[in-house]
Amino acid sequence: MRYEDLLINPEAVMRRVAEYIDIPFSPQLLVPTALDAAWPGNSSSGELFEGISRRPIAAWQADIHPLESAFVNLLFPHILRDFDYEHWSMSGSIYRPASQENIKTYIKNRWLWQLTSRSGILPP
């Protein structure tokens, strides 16, 4: 299941999920909740809305940092391939600090990138 597909056509996706886990489909499956409480929405940006919104399908592309794109392309090419995603293009330098990235985190992230990009695997 792809996140985008769930946002675009929630009923069709939830019907497939219900069938896959062998439960009857119910319209209640289309009402987003978290721990039986109303779900505030699928926003990682803090934007307030109710239910399922299609806005995050493309909104993340404006916020993703080049280092994040580089890690996804390097470490998850099989996921990109299996779910029919293209490799993420990088706009800008991976060495530019990310928004709200403090110096300690910056150093750790770039050190991890150097280790990973050279070996192709994450250290333990």
DSSP string over 13-40: HHHHHHHHTT----GGGGS-EETTEE--
* Statement to judge: residues 20 and 50 lie in one domain: yes
Average pLDDT score over residue span 76-94: 87
* Statement to judge: residues 53 and 7 lie in one domain: yes
- Contact yes or no for 80/72 (Cβ under 8 A): yes
Q: Which one of 60, 78, 105 terminates a domain?
A: 60
Q: What is the mean pLDDT of the chain?
A: 84
Band (91; pLDDT cuts 50, 70, 90): confident
* Statement to judge: residues 27 and 71 lie in one domain: no
Q: Which one of 60, 79, 97 terminates a domain?
A: 60
Band (36; pLDDT cuts 50, 70, 90): confident
More confident residue, 40 or 36: 36
Question: What is the pTM for the complete model shown?
Answer: 0.66
* Statement to judge: residues 55 and 80 lie in one domain: no
Band (45; pLDDT cuts 50, 70, 90): low
Evaluate whether residue 106 is within a structural domain: yes
Instruction: Classify 35 in phi/psi space as left (phi over 0), alpha (psi -120 to 50) or beta.
Output: left
Domain ranges, residue 53: 3-60
